[in-house]
């Protein structure tokens, strides 16, 4: 019995020997082995194998000869590793096939089988479903052959099994919640966020697990991490599931006791009040809503500014992306240096910051932004292709949040 592992790293072995990823010094040998093993119940034609193994720019004038040579090299590699070199057989009509006499066990097929068993057992026995889901999860040690996803066939399987893993984690998480297995839920989601760091629901499960197991500070830390990923890396601002579990976390930590005003003040006090208040967009939005309400009974001017970093001329996409990241860091430093204690700023997108200027008319806001542009231009040698555009709108209960109507548009 040959055992083939594809989750995380390519490994093939039996009771006598094994080959680890990279040992054959050829990704194409690994690809051919995996492709024939997974398609072992049928003969596959040269065109299908070539499309799965060779990239478009690698197409050869003699695909028959290229595949024949690759199959020869794979047989030799198997023989040198003490495997049965006759795993691969050629059949009539130019087809290649896995040898029916050579048994093989593949982790992705076991993964599928356990999930199917769990789904079948779900309505009859939660315990059986949990057991099967756990066996499937235990097999997943990383994405399907992520080092080999430069062709469509491998890329498709990589995406399919990643999605199936995430869905399986969520299905098992719900069963753990139903049965009160919060320690197991924490273990499940701690592993899952390593492989899927951008799923809001998995982070919500992890926060819930740590909250229910009395790991309150860890739950708060997980929430902050998840919010930063959603806001900064992905630009996701409406985190409904995270907000819901966060409200429960607050009720758990603050709802069991009564506190005096001094304790509350100590709890909410800010350690440092230097410069602009930099926050995430959800917090910024709530502050803006408050200022709009205050504007209904106040004549003190306030201004909303959308600051955008834009390329001055077309360049290479990869270079522009790198310059944009550098420019956004430079802009953040300029905002921190030039804005005041009462001002608020948040990252709005990969190329924008949103700023709330307190006690500041639109004319004054324009002067403030010109100072920020000067500081940005003074320190942007590494990304001189970028410039700044800003749009200003007065804060008023009669104006919407970042409307289409702009009061001013100035370029640096």
pLDDT of residue 83: 75
Looking at the fold, whether 237 and 135 belong to one and the same domain comes out as: no
User: Contact 393/403 with Cβ under 8 angstroms?
Assistant: yes
Q: Is 16 helix (H, G, I), strand (E, B) or coil?
A: coil
Is pLDDT of 94 > 80? no
pLDDT tens-digit readout, 367-377: 999 998 888 88
User: Contact 250/207 with Cβ under 8 angstroms?
Assistant: no
Is pLDDT of 7 > 70? yes
pLDDT tens-digit readout, 286-327: 888 888 888 777 788 889 999 999 887 765 555 567 788 888
DSSP 360: -
Task: Give me the long-range contacts of 185-193 (CB less than 8 A, separation at least 24).
Answer: 185/209, 186/210, 186/213, 186/215, 188/137, 191/137, 192/165, 192/166
DSSP 44: B
Looking at the fold, whether 218 and 323 belong to one and the same domain comes out as: no
Buried b (16+ CB within 10 A) or exposed e, 21-36: bebbeebbbbbbbbbb
Assign 102 a pLDDT band (cuts: 50, 70, 90). Answer: confident
227: domain CATH number?
A: 1.25.40
Domain's final residue, options 179, 195, 230: 179
pTM: 0.66
Task: Give me the long-range contacts of 207-214 (CB less than 8 A, separation at least 24).
Answer: 207/242, 207/245, 207/246, 207/249, 208/177, 208/182, 208/245, 208/248, 209/176, 209/182, 209/183, 209/185, 210/186, 211/245, 211/248, 211/249, 211/252, 212/182, 213/182, 213/183, 213/186
Of the candidate ranges 5-14, 29-38, 80-89, 216-225, the one whose mean pLDDT is the lowest:
80-89
Is pLDDT of 168 > 70? yes
Looking at the fold, whether 12 and 142 belong to one and the same domain comes out as: yes
Looking at the fold, whether 157 and 283 belong to one and the same domain comes out as: no
Domain's final residue, options 129, 154, 179: 179
- Does some domain include residue 70? yes
- Does some domain include residue 55? yes
pLDDT of residue 190: 96
% of the chain surpassing 90 pLDDT: 30
User: Contact 196/162 with Cβ under 8 angstroms?
Assistant: yes
Q: How many CB atoms lie within 10 A of CB 219?
A: 25
- Does some domain include residue 264? no
Nearest to 359 by CA among 279, 299, 272, 293: 299
pLDDT of residue 56: 67
DSSP code string of 190-201: HHHHHH-TT-HH
- Beta bridge mates, 13: 3, 18
Nearest to 229 by CA among 205, 187, 186, 193: 193
pLDDT tens-digit readout, 125-144: 999 999 999 999 999 999 99
Looking at the fold, whether 102 and 125 belong to one and the same domain comes out as: yes
**Mean of the pLDDT values across residues 143-167?**
92
371: domain CATH number?
A: 3.30.70.270
Looking at the fold, whether 26 and 111 belong to one and the same domain comes out as: yes
- Residue 121 and residue 125: Cα distance in Å, rounded? 6
Is pLDDT of 49 > 90? no
- Beta bridge mates, 105: 3
Looking at the fold, whether 311 and 389 belong to one and the same domain comes out as: yes
- Residue 47 and residue 306: Cα distance in Å, rounded? 53
Looking at the fold, whether 154 and 14 belong to one and the same domain comes out as: yes
- Does some domain include residue 326? yes
The strand pair at 2-5 and 88-91 is best described as: unpaired
Looking at the fold, whether 162 and 186 belong to one and the same domain comes out as: no
51: domain CATH number?
A: 1.10.10.10
Looking at the fold, whether 26 and 171 belong to one and the same domain comes out as: yes
- Does some domain include residue 266? no
**Mean of the pLDDT values across residues 389-410?**
59
Most confident of 122-126, 280-284, 351-355, 404-408: 351-355
Q: For the chain, give the mean pLDDT.
A: 83
Is pLDDT of 243 > 50? yes
Distance of CA 67 to the CA centre of its chain: 37
Looking at the fold, whether 240 and 351 belong to one and the same domain comes out as: no
Q: Is 232 helix (H, G, I), strand (E, B) or coil?
A: helix
User: Contact 293/396 with Cβ under 8 angstroms?
Assistant: no
- Residue 183 and residue 186: Cα distance in Å, rounded? 5
CA atoms within 13 A on the CB side of 338: 21
The strand pair at 95-98 and 88-91 is best described as: antiparallel
- Does some domain include residue 197? yes
Assign 255 a pLDDT band (cuts: 50, 70, 90). Answer: low
Please tell me which residue, 236 or 16, carries the higher pLDDT value. 16
Q: How many CB atoms lie within 10 A of CB 176?
A: 25
Q: How many CB atoms lie within 10 A of CB 180?
A: 10
Number of H helices, E strands in the chain: 14, 12
Range of the domain at 8: 1-179
**Mean of the pLDDT values across residues 76-85?**
79
Looking at the fold, whether 55 and 167 belong to one and the same domain comes out as: yes
- Does some domain include residue 319? yes
Of the candidate ranges 35-49, 85-99, 266-280, the one whose mean pLDDT is the lowest:
266-280
Assign 410 a pLDDT band (cuts: 50, 70, 90). Answer: very low
- Does some domain include residue 400? no
Indicate the number of domains in the chain: 3
Nearest to 111 by CA among 69, 80, 71, 142: 142
């Amino acid at each position: 019995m040959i055992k083939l592992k594809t989750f995380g790293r390519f490994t093939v072995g039996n009771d006598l020997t094994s080959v680890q990823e990279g040992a054959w010094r050829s990704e194409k040998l690994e690809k051919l082995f995996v492709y024939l093993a997974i398609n072992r119940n049928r003969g596959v034609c040269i065109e299908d194998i070539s499309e799965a193994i060779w990239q478009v720019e690698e197409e050869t004038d003699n695909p028959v000869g290229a595949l024949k040579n690759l199959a020869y090299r794979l047989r030799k590699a198997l023989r040198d590793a003490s495997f049965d070199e006759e795993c691969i057989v050629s059949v009539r009509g130019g087809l290649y096939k896995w040898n029916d006499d050579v048994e093989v066990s593949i982790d992705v097929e076991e993964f599928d089988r356990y999930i199917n068993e769990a789904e079948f057992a779900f309505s009859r026995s939660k315990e059986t479903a949990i057991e099967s889901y756990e066996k499937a999860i235990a097999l997943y040690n990383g994405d399907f052959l992520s080092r080999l996803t430069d062709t469509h066939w491998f890329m498709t399987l990589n995406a399919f099994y990643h999605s199936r893993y995430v869905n399986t984690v969520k299905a098992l998480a719900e069963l753990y919640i139903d049965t009160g297995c919060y320690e197991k839920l924490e273990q499940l989601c701690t592993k899952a966020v390593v492989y899927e760091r951008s799923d809001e629901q998995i982070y919500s499960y992890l926060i819930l697990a740590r909250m229910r197991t009395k790991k309150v500070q860890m739950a708060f830390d997980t929430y902050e991490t998840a919010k930063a990923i959603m806001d900064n890396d992905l630009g996701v601002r409406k985190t409904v599931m995270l907000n819901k579990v966060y409200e429960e976390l607050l009720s758990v930590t603050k709802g069991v006791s009564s506190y005096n005003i001094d304790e509350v003040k100590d709890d909410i006090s800010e350690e440092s009040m230097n410069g602009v208040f930099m926050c995430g967009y959800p917090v910024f939005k709530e502050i803006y809503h408050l200022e709009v309400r205050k504007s209904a009974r106040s004549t003190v001017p306030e201004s909303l500014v959308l600051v955008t970093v834009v390329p001055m001329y077309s360049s290479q996409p990869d270079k522009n992306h790198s310059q944009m990241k550098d420019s956004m860091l430079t802009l953040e430093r300029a905002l921190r240096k030039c804005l005041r204690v009462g001002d608020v700023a948040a990252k709005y997108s990969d190329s924008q910051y949103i700023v709330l200027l307190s006690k500041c008319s639109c004319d004054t806001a324009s002067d403030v932004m010109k100072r920020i542009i000067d500081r940005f231009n003074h320190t942007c040698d590494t990304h001189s292709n970028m410039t700044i555009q800003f749009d200003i709108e007065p804060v008023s209960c009669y104006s919407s949040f970042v409307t289409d109507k702009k009061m001013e548009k100035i370029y640096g």
